[in-house]
Structure formats: C-alpha cells, structure tokens
Amino acid sequence: MYKTNINELALFGGTPIFNELLHVGRPNIGNREQLLARINDMLDRHWLSNNGPFVQELEQKLAGYLGVKHCIAVCNATVALEIAARALGLQGEVILPSFTFIASAHALQWLGITPVFCDVDPLTHNIDPMKVENLITQHTTGILGVHVWGRACHIEKLSSIAKKHGLRLMFDAAHAFGCTLQGKMIGGFGELEVFSFHATKFFNSFEGGAVTTNNDELAEKLRGMRNFGFAGLDNVIDIGTNGKMSEVSAAMGLTSLESMDQFIETNHNNYLAYSSGLDGISGIQLIKYSEKEKNNYQYIVIEIDEGVTGLSRDLLVKILHAENVRARRYFYPGCHQMEPYRSNFPNAKLTLPETENLTLKVLQLPSGTAVGEEEISYICKLIRFAIVNEAEISARLEA
C-alpha cells in the first residue's frame, strides 16, 4: 500500500507496507535438490570435515574461477583474516580503514596487532592511499585494504606504498567475490586476499571463507595453520588453529556456485530497479558500480545528504523499520567508535573526518533473491514520501 498521508505511516500507527521483514542480505539458496544430494553423498561417505572431497572440489573451482594459484577454504573470514595476518608475519601496527566490518580490526587485535585506522576516500568508500603514508611508523608491518561493497581498493597506489616502505599488503575481500578490477578478478591482488562466504553474502556456504594467493610458500603455511599447524600425521611444525571448512559448508558452496550467475543477475536487476526508483530524489545518492567491471551488485547503498533532504538518515531508518524494511546503517559507528578501539584511541575520530561523515549518511537497503521489483518500488516510493513530508513528520514527532 502506498502512503498518501503521514497518518498512514507505520511509525504513526498505520499498517506496515510489508507483512514480513525485508532484510539486507537474506541468504540466497541455490538448487535445494542438488544440495540435499550432496549432503546425502557426504553422509554416505562418512567424511564430514578434515579436507574432504567437497572442500577440495570447492577450492579447485574457486581458484579456477578467480584465476589464482591457491585457494584455501576456511570456516569463516574472521578466522581466515587471523590466519592470513599470522602467515604474513604481521605484528606491531597494521593500517586499515575504520569504515569496515568490525571483524577486519578484531582479527588483528586478536593477534595482538594494533589496528591503525586510516580515513577513506568519500567517493569510493575505500581506504585513502593518500592518507596511508602519514600513518606509517617504525612499528608498521602491513596494510590491510578492504574492498568495501565489492569495489576494489586503489591497488596500484597501495602496492607502491607497501613496496616503498617494505610493508606486507593483504586485502579483506569479504564483499568482493565475483568482482573485478580492470577486468582481473579480485582474489589475486596483494600477497593474499580473504573472502567471506557467510550466509548473508551473495555467495554463501552457510559459514565460510577462503584465502587466495599466488604465493606457493604462503599457501602451504596457510594450509598448515588452518589445521592446527600439522604437516602430516603426528607432526606439528607451527602454531595453528582450527580454521577448517566442513564438508556440509563446502556442499553449500558448490551448490551456490552453480546458481551464482542467477544471483548476480537478480542483484543487478534489483540495483537497476533501485536506481530508477530513487532517480531524481535530491539528496539521495545510490552508489555507482563501474559498468566496465564485473560486480556482484549485492550492496544497495545510498548516501543521504541531510542538508538537502532535511530528513536525517536515522529518522529515515526509523520510518523504514516501522514498515518492516530492515535497512542497515553499515558501518555505523565505525570500528574506531567500538570497543576496545574507542577506549584505546579516544582521539581517532579527529583523523577520520570522511569516515565519520560516511557513517552518518550511509544506508544499506534490502536486496538479494528475497526482494523483487515490486518491493523495491514500494521502498523507493516510501523514501520519496518521507523526504517530501519530512517537515510534517518531524513536527509530529516533536509534538
């Protein structure tokens, strides 16, 4: 139901537009029969974990798809980041953006490495290479770039800074499966890259992730570290953890892979529907994906310029949530505003003006296979309605 006056808003007691919650990143499910057949195979084999045949098949297929030499499947991207940072020998300080999911920072802190937050480029939302060099100290050992929303970091500049200062370079590519930079798949940049196949990612293995690299030595190290540091039976050569991907996750990963093109097509259509639905609303900008690159279009991200709309991002969130549209304020409030970083670096925000600004205006809208053109049309019309009627809505809230 479209709203014709503010009394009809669910915020003011009206009936919500949607009966069911519309989520950001509701899991995509591929071919159910295929998945169940794989699970049956797995049960028949009695091989449930420990580098089983599905894990090996998934690794091989992913490496082929990404055009990298090695793919090491892991139980999730957070553990993958930890293993990756340790395999690279990172210690002391590592430079990364604060505008990322908390796991990027936690993985470092978990290893006793100090995350040093760098500001982002307001246009790309990615770490600003121009600001990285200022943060390098004698304790810096590496740079962790994050391809936010699947849009690649400025890899060339980051690589030359890393080279110049003798730093190791890795990427958190949790958002970027299926995306390219200058036609080359993300997965082979830096010394290694880390993907997430969490349920909310467009390609999922329930929980899961992978580290990809073209470096043979690193790959061997990563494989060992994923498996408690074992190198053969009864022989532990390094400190390791349990980062293994289970067979059931790999079965889901293989099944997701078969439907991936379809998921991307749905996401792309949704992106185009949002793009036309939001077209012409002053103060609302949908982030752009280069048509020259491959994108997974999983992230429908808008920036709300309150100076133009009059409507704050947070009031829009309240309005949307009341209508059962679970829009999310990623990455609010920024890693530097969360513990333990907020206490460890109380002045960090002074050096992160663009990050601070973005965390106040960015909003992610529902997409994926659970959302179609009709829902998107309703959401866009609701946003338009909220902005047009902002003064009346605010006055009613203040009354």
- Which positions lie near ligand PLP, rule CB under 6 A? 76-78, 100-101, 103-104, 146, 172, 174-175, 196, 198, 209
User: CB of residue 176 vs ligand PLP: minimum separation in angstroms?
Assistant: 9
Question: Residue 54 Cβ, how far from ligand PLP at the closest point, in Å?
Answer: 18
Beta bridge partners of 168: 142
Contact 96, 146 (CB under 8 A): yes
DSSP one-letter string for 24-65: TTPPP---HHHHHHHHHHHHHHT--SSS-HHHHHHHHHHHHH
The least distance separating ligand PLP from the CB of residue 309, rounded to whole angstroms, comes to: 27
CB 24 within 8 A of CB 367: yes
H helix runs in the chain, sequence order: 32-45, 53-66, 77-87, 102-110, 129-132, 155-165, 216-226, 247-258, 260-278, 306-309, 313-322, 341-344, 353-361, 373-388, 390-398
The DSSP H or E segment spanning 95 is strand 93-97
Closer to ligand PLP by Cβ: residue 96 or 264: 96
At its nearest, how many Å lie between ligand PLP and the CB of residue 325?
Answer: 20
Helix (H), strand (E) at residue 172: strand 168-172
Q: Which is nearer to ligand PLP, 175 or 226 (CB)?
A: 175
Of residues 330 and 378, the one with the C-beta less far from ligand PLP: 330
Task: CB nearer to ligand PLP: give 85 or 103.
Answer: 103
Question: Which residue number, 289 or 378, has a Cβ lying nearer to ligand PLP?
Answer: 289
* Comparison of 103 and 185: residue with beta carbon closer to ligand PLP: 103
Closer to ligand PLP at the Cβ: 309 or 355?
355
Of the two residues 55 and 146, which places its CB atom closer to ligand PLP in the complex?
A: 146
Closest CA to 328 of 355, 354, 301, 352: 301
Q: Which residues contact 220 (CB under 8 A, 6 or more apart)?
A: none
Measured from the CB of residue 103, what is the shortest distance to ligand PLP in angstroms? 4
Tokens coding 48: 């449930």
246 close to 48: Cβ distance less than 8 angstroms: yes
Shortest reach from residue 273's CB to ligand PLP, in Å:
24
The least CB distance from residue 200 to ligand PLP, in Å, is 7
Q: How far is the CB of 241 from ligand PLP (least distance, A)?
A: 14
The whole-angstrom separation of Cα 315 and Cα 340 is: 28
Residue 340 has phi, psi (to 5 degrees) of -85, 5
